[in-house]
Amino acid sequence: MTLTNEFNQPADLHLLVRMSKPGDEQMVRDFYSTFKHEFVDDRDHTMLDKYTADGRVILFLNKDNGQPVASSIALSHNIDPAKKAPTKKAAWTEVGATHITLGGFNLSSFMVSAQIMNEMFKRPPVQFFFADIYKTNSKASTLLSKVIGWDFFVPNDDLWDSTGFRHEEHLLDWLRCTTKTLPHQAKLLLETMDNPKIVNHKTGQAVHLDLSEMGWLKTRRKALENIATGPVSAILLDPAANQNIEWAAGTMPKRTAKKAGPTPQP
């Protein structure tokens, strides 16, 4: 890592944030195989490739070399709890395989919030978003609950069966994002959009986020503001509101197509 001459502190980092696309499969595979971590389970390569090609992996890329320094995946669990059968629409969406190699910057707040809102606009689950975290990784569960605003919960049998993690029941804490969490997620996104600089207060080093390839943040800004502090926020925070994410997605303002102007006369 380079150092600035004047203050002898680490130089600022510049990261490009974007969703994955076809052609990123090997890069994503290499990231998870190179930067293994005790709290990040290995994922099947076929599954990794599918989610990567489908644009469901968020990537933080070092602009100096184009390589990932952080990544996370939105994974669908397509099981109808009532019928115990696969469905086209996800019953739950897991935020998983979250791995950040840069410590001290809290990239998680933006990363998780961006994943949630991207999924909300494109493919909301019927029930809720969730994450399962090893009990020994208390730092991650505290961040997700205290800073990002998720709630601890006990999964039902259907979710246990869908994840296949029942054999690790005694090892895991579970947290979820429901409708009441969405306004806070939108606020976190807007704050970073307005000031895409995150400082490590221990070292003084800063990370500058380039959001130019996250075009949906700009086109959906009005909707994000509405969710954060507008009329939709009031609906979602109403104690009597339905806690179902699919219902919440139905409250989102719809984008309307621009009306075509008059046809020029010859």
CATH code for position 207: 3.40.630.30
Asked if residue 7 is part of any domain, the answer here is no
Asked if residue 233 is part of any domain, the answer here is yes
Strand duo 57-62 + 68-77: pairing: antiparallel
Q: Model pTM?
A: 0.86
Asked if residue 4 is part of any domain, the answer here is no
Q: How many domains does the chain have?
A: 1
Strand duo 128-134 + 92-100: pairing: parallel
Per-residue tens of pLDDT for the chain, all 266 residues: 333 334 455 789 999 999 999 999 999 999 999 998 888 878 888 989 999 999 999 999 999 999 999 999 999 987 665 555 556 788 899 999 999 999 889 999 999 999 999 999 999 998 899 999 999 999 999 999 999 999 999 998 888 888 876 667 788 999 999 889 999 999 999 999 999 999 998 889 999 999 999 999 999 999 999 999 999 998 888 877 766 777 777 766 554 444 444 443 43
19 touches 59 (CB < 8 A): yes
Per DSSP, the three-state class of 92 is strand
Nearest Cα residue to 56 out of 81, 69, 73: 73
Nearest Cα residue to 150 out of 174, 126, 119: 174
Asked if residue 265 is part of any domain, the answer here is no
Range of the domain at 128: 13-250
